[in-house]
Amino acid sequence: MSKTYVGSRLRQLRRERNLSQAALASALDLSASYVNQIEHDVRPLTVPVLLRITEAFGVDATFFSRDDDSRLLAELKDVVADQEIAASDVEIQELSDLVYNHPTVARAMVDMHRRYRNVRDKLTMATDTRKTSQAISMPHDEVRDFFYSRQNYLNEIDHTAERLSLDLGVSQFGIRETEEAIRDRLVSRHNIEVTSMSGVDGTLHSFDPERGLLELSTILSTGQRAFRMASELAYLEASELIDEALADEPFTSEASINLARRGVASYFAAATILPYGLVHKESEQVGYDVDYLINAFGVGYETVASRLSTLQRPNLRGVPFTFVRVDRAGNMSKRQSATGFHFSTSGGTCPLWSIYESFNQPGEIVRQHAQMPDGRTYLWIARTVRHHRRKFQDTEKLFAIGLGCETRHADRTIYSIGLPLDDAEQATPIGSGCRVCPRQHCAQRAFPAIHLPLEIDPHSTAIAPY
């Protein structure tokens, strides 16, 4: 059995907790010299010491595994694949070593590249007199990165919302009671009047703090009304906590800050009507059966799937899911990840991904055993959802919701039953997008890979166009 050296990771953990080596040694009931030797890779990590660390600091054992480096490694690959960086000849092993041994440096490189792209896009918009260039939606990118860097879990927000849910008496099989409890709290504690509105202009809810009036569209379901009331309750009862969560984030605009506040308030709302401990317990018992959880908690498929992607509380972790929402054209309007799965910023998504197949089977859950180019395999489930339609002539909104996890976690879910997940050769080969995908012989390739030389023989053709 190979030895495991985790010096850089242990040092990272200690610095995150603002501990000296002596304090860390005391917390683990080890000698300071022993901890020093582990940090300098003189001694390997042993199972007893690993158990002490996970118990004392609430980190998952995979914190010390290279398997959980995949997301940062994929982001770093995007950096070197950028044609303007001109570093595509860097070996993947070099990047892997950098990520594992110096994760802070790797993260700094990714952050610098993200800021560089943002400045580049803004400069293009400012200097392009034709006004044909469209910069990336900065606020959405920044808010996505905020949640992404936290593995889609906000500890203080989650705990506070869970305490509120206990005060409200939230339980499974009682969404109507939950709605009434939230409404009563708004009325009795905050003197807020809650009324209905037609919402013909597309507005689902509107709150006027000066008038103390919260209006909810009549097309909202019971669970949706509870969710929107809980999101306003977040501003009323956890405003300072929301500001603290966002205080150290380098947002570049007021729009980004406001969008982030709304995102955290929505997180608070979900954690109130779907309290962590209860949802985690039920999920583990039923194998993360989304249909069961919908019926148990009285909320929609998208809400349940999104909440499952946030179950990463130390010492009570759920399956680390990635959550996505896409439309038929491949536009990804939501992307949340508690796992290592990474979507490239250099192109679209993969047409071989099962989430697109779900549009051919509306309302049915589609499963897929998929393999990324780096060899990692995943279990994906996908199902379509229909959004609000106010009247006959309105355009229908149809999305596909995807949930995915690495196959090493899949046996905790009911969706692994009957799939040959231990046989990687039967997995569907997918990628992060054609521009960064190395699969040269894929018949679905739409664009050449930006990190590979383009060689065209005018006298020869193949299934793949590039």
Q: Evaluate if residue 203 carries a pLDDT over 50.
A: yes
pLDDT in tens, 318-372: 998 999 999 988 888 888 876 656 565 555 678 889 899 999 999 999 999 999 8
Contacts of 252 (CB under 8 A, 6+ apart): 118, 138, 142
Q: Evaluate if residue 75 carries a pLDDT over 90.
A: no
By residue count, the chain amounts to: 466
Contacts of 446 (CB under 8 A, 6+ apart): 348, 351, 434
What's the CA gap between 112 and 82, in Å, rounded? 13
Q: Say if residues 260 and 146 touch (Cβ distance below 8 Å).
A: yes
What's the CA gap between 6 and 242, in Å, rounded? 34
pTM above 0.95, yes or no: no
Angle (CA) 83-87-91 rounded to 5° is 130
Sketch out the chain's domains with CATH numbers.
Answer: 7-64 (1.10.260.40), 68-136 (no CATH), 155-304 (1.10.10.2910), 319-427 (3.30.450)
Q: Over the chain, what is the mean pLDDT?
A: 84
What's the CA gap between 383 and 243, in Å, rounded? 35
Q: Evaluate if residue 302 carries a pLDDT over 60.
A: yes
More confident residue, 442 or 464: 442
Give, in order, the Cα–Cα distances in Å from 198 to each of 213, 218, 219.
15, 6, 8
| Structure token digits, residue 319 | 């399956």
pLDDT in tens, 156-176: 999 999 999 999 988 776 889
In a 3-state reduction of DSSP, which class is residue 284? helix
DSSP 62: G
User: Out of 9-13, 35-39, 292-296, 352-356, which region has the weakest mean confidence (pLDDT)?
Assistant: 9-13
pLDDT in tens, 393-446: 677 789 999 999 989 889 999 999 999 999 988 999 988 777 777 787 888 888
What's the CA gap between 68 and 70, in Å, rounded? 6
Average pLDDT score over residue span 276-285: 95
Average pLDDT score over residue span 71-79: 74
Q: Evaluate if residue 134 carries a pLDDT over 50.
A: no
Q: Say if residues 288 and 319 touch (Cβ distance below 8 Å).
A: yes
